[in-house]
Amino acid sequence: MSDFATPILHFYRLIEEARIPQRADRSAAGTLPTRAYRYCEAVTAAAGYGWWVFPPTDLQFLWDGYDIFWQCTGWEDWLPLMPAAQFPGFAARFDEAAPASLAGCSPPFLTALPEPGTLQIWTGLLARTAPDWSLLVRAPANLPLPGGFSMYEGIVETDRWFGPLFINLRFTRTSVPIRLRPDFPLAQVQPLPRMAYAERTLSVADITAEMAGFAARDWADYATTIADANADPDRSFGSYAVSARKRSRRNCPSKAAACGSG
């Protein structure tokens, strides 16, 4: 586990036009209902867990059921993706900056994958995590995406694999342009300790299959959470949110800034 003096995650931007990754917002960019934002800590904690990454430029895609066509917004023509494309002007910039031995090794910006209607987009970023930490790459939590595609989730062991941070999409709509804006989150990346998803962790869950198996402690905890709270006519809204936020502040090593809050 890394201490707070050492960042868990380090982003490297190669495409300068790309927006800098941004801490995910607990209000899901203001789209959460006010009641959820104020009282539902479960929703806001999920929305704010991680960082948003963005498309490097304004893009449009068109899938006809077989081929994928693309354009940067403002271009007159649609280009077929056959099967990959570089970000405009990036290959030359990469060769100028990289060691001579890496000339011609710039990552592709767009790649049509073998499965129909699937696309890989490079965010223009690389990422490195602290030892024994990985990155979960997923759709933004609780933030509705533009229609016409769904996103594959993946866990990348970025403490061992230092390469392009890609997003994989699957188109769900044909013959209609799909736009990705550079100022709207494309994905959310979330740091995970490797032990959280290790087989030895996930293979030891216990299950109580019927209420007869509840212990006295289980019933007591249920009473505290549900029955006792509902029996209080003067209870405040969002008591779980209040207690969870207090616990978070107690666990913070110094001040809110050290916890990345804001």
How do residues 9-57 score in pLDDT, each as one tens digit? 999 999 999 999 999 999 999 999 999 999 899 999 999 999 999 999 9
- The yes-or-no verdict on residue 258 having pLDDT over 50 is no
| pLDDT greater than 60 at residue 236 | yes
Q: Does residue 257 have a pLDDT over 80? A: no
For 127-164, write each residue's pLDDT tens digit. 999 999 999 999 999 999 888 999 999 999 999 999 99
What's residue 261's pLDDT?
Answer: 39
What is the length of the chain? 262
User: What pTM was estimated for this model as a whole?
Assistant: 0.86
Q: What is the CA radius of gyration of the chain?
A: 22
Res. 260: pLDDT tops 90: no
Long-range contact pairs involving 230-238 (C-beta distance under 8 Å, separation at least 24): 237/38, 237/39, 238/38, 238/39, 238/40, 238/41
Q: Which two tokens stand for residue 237?
A: 């809204």
Per-residue pLDDT, averaged over 91-95, amounts to 97
Tally of structural domains, the chain = 2
Range of the domain at 28: 9-201
Residue 256 has pLDDT above 50, yes or no: no
* Co-location of 235 and 134 in the same domain: no
Same domain, yes or no: 124 and 185: yes
What is the reported pLDDT for 229?
Answer: 72
84 domain-assigned: yes
- Spatial distance between the Cα atoms of 131 and 2, rounded to a whole number of angstroms: 8
Q: In terms of domains, do 221 and 106 share one? A: no
Instruction: Round to whole Å and give the CA distance between 179 and 77.
Output: 15
d(CA 262, CA 257): 8
Residues 119 and 221 in one domain: no
- Give residues with Cβ within 8 angstroms of 193, minimum separation 6: 1, 132, 133, 134
96-100, 154-158, 168-172, 228-232 — which is least confidently predicted? 228-232
In-domain check, residue 115: yes
Indicate the pairing of strand 51-53 with strand 133-138: unpaired
Instruction: Name the helix (H) or strand (E) containing 155.
Output: strand 154-156
Question: Rounded distance, CA 219 to CA 214, Å?
Answer: 7
Domain assignment present for 179:
yes
The identity of residue 158, as a single letter, is T
Residue 122: the pLDDT is 98
Q: Is residue 260 part of a domain?
A: no
Q: Could you give the CA distance from residue 244 to residue 232 in angstroms, rounded to a whole number?
A: 20
Report CA torsion sign: 30, 32, 34, 36. negative
